Amino acid sequence: MIYKQLFGVDFGVAEMKTEDLPVYLTSGRLFFILSYSETKFILIEVSKKEKFGVIALKKQAMTISEKYNLPVAFCFENISRSQRDSLLEKNIPFISESGQLYLPFLGMALKSKFVNSKVVKKEKMMPVTQALFLHLLYNSSGKTVLKKDAAEFLRVTRTSITRASDQLSVMGLITQEMHGKECHISTTEQGLRLFEKAKPHLINPIMRTVNIESDNKFNTIPLSGESALATVSLLNYPKIPTRAAYKDEIDINDIQDIDVRWNQKNNVIQLELWKYDPGLFEKHGAVDPVSLFMCYENNVDERIEGALQEYLEEYKW
């Protein structure tokens, strides 16, 4: 921790008991007494989940300082330029793990460069992350892919592709290297090995499913569900075909969800609205095997499970 050594000298650090302070001042925080020679002050380590408010921090510092007759400073994991400037304006002592330090009773060390505090989630993929992953899985074959080319293929912005690649990198699925101004992306595995490594992070692409009366405009979008599996396995074709469409390309106001139990017509289809474009990875008129596998993430039907495994094993990666 940065506060264990300030200005080139080691400070004594002792955890402070806070039983006599109200809960609103201590919840989610750690309290320490820092001392060196005759200098002593209270340092409050603030949770990164805590809402930042300089007025509240100012009042809290005054209350605690008056109670213990010691200066009070706050310790943050990271702060932005605007947050630092607000703290300085209100004369609130603070230390930041990123190297910003303002202790008016002792000294100060401020930097003009700030650390990017973005948090990359690594539990589950964002839709754009999964789309990038599928693009690399099906098209890279161990070769590097330019990030700008991936963005063009997926039709997403530079910001979106950067967020997606950062998430895949944190998950250990890709590496990123800069060559000049170009960012090159490589997968850490290929084919089924890459799929197995990514499986815990993958999401179900289906946002919503509706039954609608079909017309010719839906005949060109890829088959999904059991309809897709029937094209690549011995599974029988379902009575009502299933097709998948990208949610952003369908006007939901033009769709009327019908009850198939009362519809006597034969032109009904089950339409899945996906979080990313299934047409990007379509092959032979059906959605890709990894996306289809995730559509059945909670499946308990042995017929479906067997057909999915057959699709995954026979797919030409």
Q: pLDDT (tens digit, 9 = 90+) per residue, 155-176?
A: 999 889 999 999 999 999 999 9
> Average per-residue pLDDT in the chain?
87
d(CA 107, CA 97): 16
Question: What letter would DSSP give residue 69?
Answer: T
What does the pLDDT average to over 129-153?
Answer: 92
pLDDT band at 249; cut points 50, 70, 90: confident
The whole model's pTM is what?
A: 0.63
Reported as a single tens digit per residue, the pLDDT across 59-115 is: 999 999 999 999 999 998 888 888 999 999 999 999 887 778 899 888 777 776 665
Domain residue ranges of the chain, discontinuous segments joined by +: 2-109, 127-201, 206-314
Of all residues in the chain, what percent carry a pLDDT higher than 90?
A: 52
Q: Looking at domain 127-201, does it have CATH number 3.40.50.2000? A: no
d(CA 42, CA 203): 46
What pLDDT, on the 0 to 100 scale, is given for residue 264?
A: 58
Which residue bears the tokens 């895949």?
168
d(CA 282, CA 277): 9
Q: Looking at domain 2-109, does it have CATH number 3.40.1350? A: yes
Does residue 269 carry a pLDDT above 80? yes
What pLDDT, on the 0 to 100 scale, is given for residue 288?
A: 95
Q: Where are the alpha helices (DSSP H) in the chain?
A: 23-26, 54-68, 81-89, 127-139, 147-154, 158-170, 191-198, 225-232, 289-295, 302-314
Does residue 129 carry a pLDDT above 70? yes
Domains 2-109 and 127-201 in one fold: no
